[in-house]
């Protein structure tokens, strides 16, 4: 949504911490938790082939690991947002580390398919508690202009965890092996909970959080529906859905099998190629964050440019005759990696259009989008691969279909979010951003912008 900032203040009422060093230490602790979560989330991307042998399963059953983990993650995003808003990110991050540690210890010792699924489900639960909590910390401790930049740095730190889950993890699995590698990772993660308890504070000094008391189901429903009714939140949901799922599907599970079985590359080479996603996101995240922090008017053009380019990339990979050379794969993967940083724009929308007491819930709603799409994409990819006898071209076509659906819905809510701002401005209400009206915009008052689609 083309926009210029109305003021340098925070439209959602965020209070910036006066203690510069303290807030950065708090952020660093939270970002490290996110790094660990991303490591555990993406570890199956290079362990998939070993898992297939360990549990004796095929492509569809292997895809179930990721579908289950990401499905749990997606289902927990809105409850996580509500929990973070009520109990604070410090407690939720501590619980996240304990669940992540337990899940990875279970995976280290799993010797059957059902136990492996249980382990990934527990990991998905712990992972689900992480990012929304860190974003809520940033919203509380940093100013409105700092928010997108610090959030982008957080995702860049997370990609260090992704990087550790590529070549280094591949070497560890080939050396010490499955059980020692995952066992140590799980124990170290659980122990980091002590650091979070010692360092993290939910709010800036001088700001007191009201103690959480009993809450009725009706109040919870009101909190979630209040965030969902905001067109800017809905736009963020579909933006996140469209931008992040394709790189997620590749890095979480299907990238290495595509390169090894579909392109005939050695496993080590395939793992090295997957690091392109990591480095691309690490570089792209701060760049995108800095751009939208200085010029919010670049938010939707960046998203539109990325999605248009992604269509070109997928068309190229689908139409390439025979094996795709590395000279083509590298720039294609580098471009697709920008989807992660671009998806962070959805969280900026959640923050802009919701009051601080509802930012966690709105962020959870937005975060559901990308992981619902990831779940659908991973499942469709595995099913098409199984049905076609290993034809990766058909499996990739399933990814494109999900992408088209997401882009269509995003465009619908982009127009509705713009119409909602014009209506609010006409009523004399304070709005978080100002946008320029175009001929194709919905006339003021012509239709309800909050109706469910």
Q: Helix 299-319 and helix 267-294: axis angle, to 10°?
A: 160
Give the tokens for residue 18.
């006066």
Domain count, the chain: 1
Which residues have a Cβ under 8 Å from the Cβ of 110 and sit 6 or more positions away? 55, 116, 118, 119
Look at the alpha carbons of 300, 306, 310, 313 in this order and tell me if their dihedral is positive or negative: positive
Q: Return the top range by mean pLDDT from 20-24, 168-172, 211-215.
A: 20-24
User: Is 213 contained in some domain?
Assistant: no
Is residue 10 scored above 70 in pLDDT? no
CB 415 within 8 A of CB 89: no
Task: Identify whether 436 is part of a domain.
Answer: no
Q: Which residues contact 291 (CB under 8 A, 6 or more apart)?
A: 298, 302
Q: Is residue 452 part of a domain?
A: no
pLDDT at position 445 is: 53
The answer to the question of residue 356 being in a domain is: yes
Q: Are 299 and 345 in contact (CB under 8 A)?
A: yes
- Contacts of 427-432 with CB under 8 Å at 24 or more apart are 430/6, 430/11, 431/6, 431/11, 432/6, 432/11, 432/12, 432/352, 432/353
What is the predicted pLDDT for the residue at 210?
56
Residue 174 lies in a domain: yes
Rg (Cα) of the chain, in Å, rounded? Answer: 21
Largest CA distance in the chain: 66
- Residue 142 has a pLDDT of 86
Query: How far apart are the C-alpha atoms of 227 and 233, rounded to whole Å?
Result: 7
The CATH number covering residue 21 comes to 1.20.1250.20
Residues 6+ apart with CB under 8 A from 220: 82
**Predicted pLDDT of residue 96:** 96
* pLDDT reported for residue 30: 95
**Average pLDDT across the chain, whole number:** 83
User: How does pLDDT run across 166-180, given as a tens digit for each residue?
Assistant: 678 878 888 888 899
Q: Which has more pLDDT, 267 or 127?
A: 127
pLDDT at position 13: 42
pLDDT at 399: 92
451 domain-assigned: no
- Domain with 101 in it: 14-203+218-427
Residue 4 β-bridge partners: 434
DSSP code for 210: P
Percent of the chain with pLDDT over 90: 32
Please give the pLDDT value at position 126: 95
In a domain, 18, yes or no: yes
Q: What is the C-alpha to C-alpha distance for residues 443 and 452, in angstroms, rounded to an integer?
A: 19
Within-domain flag for 7: no
Residue 323: partners with Cβ closer than 8 Å, 6 or more residues away: 263, 264
């Amino acid at each position: 949504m083309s926009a210029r900032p109305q003021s340098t203040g925070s439209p959602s009422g965020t209070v910036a911490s006066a203690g510069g060093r303290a807030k950065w230490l708090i952020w660093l602790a939270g970002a490290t938790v996110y790094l660990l979560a991303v490591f555990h989330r993406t570890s199956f991307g290079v362990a998939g082939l070993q898992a297939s042998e360990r549990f004796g399963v095929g492509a569809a059953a292997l895809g179930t690991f990721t579908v289950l983990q990401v499905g749990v993650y997606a289902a927990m995003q809105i409850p996580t947002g509500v929990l973070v808003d009520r109990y604070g990110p410090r407690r939720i991050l501590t619980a996240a580390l304990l669940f992540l540690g337990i899940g990875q210890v279970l995976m280290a010792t799993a010797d059957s398919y059902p136990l492996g699924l249980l382990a990934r489900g527990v990991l998905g639960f712990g992972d689900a508690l992480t990012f929304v909590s860190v974003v809520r910390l940033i919203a509380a401790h940093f100013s409105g202009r700092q928010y997108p930049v610090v959030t982008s740095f957080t995702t860049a730190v997370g990609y260090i965890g992704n990087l550790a889950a590529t070549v280094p993890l591949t070497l560890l699995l080939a050396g010490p092996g499955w059980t020692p590698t995952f066992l140590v990772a799980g124990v170290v993660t659980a122990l980091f909970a002590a650091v979070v308890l010692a360092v993290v504070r939910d709010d800036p000094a001088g700001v007191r959080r009201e103690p959480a008391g009993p809450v009725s189901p009706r109040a919870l429903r009101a909190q979630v529906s209040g965030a969902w009714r905001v067109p800017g939140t809905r736009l963020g949901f579909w933006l996140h859905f469209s931008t992040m799922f394709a790189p997620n599907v590749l890095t979480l599970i299907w990238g290495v099998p595509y390169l090894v079985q579909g392109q005939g590359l050695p496993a080590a080479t395939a793992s090295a190629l997957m690091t392109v996603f990591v480095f691309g996101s690490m570089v792209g995240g701060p760049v995108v964050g800095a751009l939208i922090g200085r010029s919010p008017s670049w938010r939707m053009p960046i998203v539109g440019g990325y999605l248009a380019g992604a269509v070109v990339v997928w068309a190229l990979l689908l139409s390439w005759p025979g094996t795709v050379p590395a000279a083509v794969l590298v720039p294609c993967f580098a471009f697709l990696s920008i989807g992660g940083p671009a998806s962070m724009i959805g969280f900026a929308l959640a923050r802009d259009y919701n009051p601080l007491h509802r930012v966690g819930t709105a962020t959870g709603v937005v975060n559901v989008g990308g992981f619902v799409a990831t779940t659908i994409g991973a499942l469709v990819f595995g099913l098409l691969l199984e049905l076609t006898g290993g034809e990766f071209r058909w499996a990739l076509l399933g990814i494109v279909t999900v992408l088209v659906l997401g882009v269509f819905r995003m465009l619908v809510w982009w127009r509705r979010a713009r119409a909602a701002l014009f209506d609010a401005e006409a009523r004399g209400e304070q709005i978080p951003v100002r946008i320029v009206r175009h001929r194709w915009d919905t006339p003021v008052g012509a239709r309800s912008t909050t109706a469910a689609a």
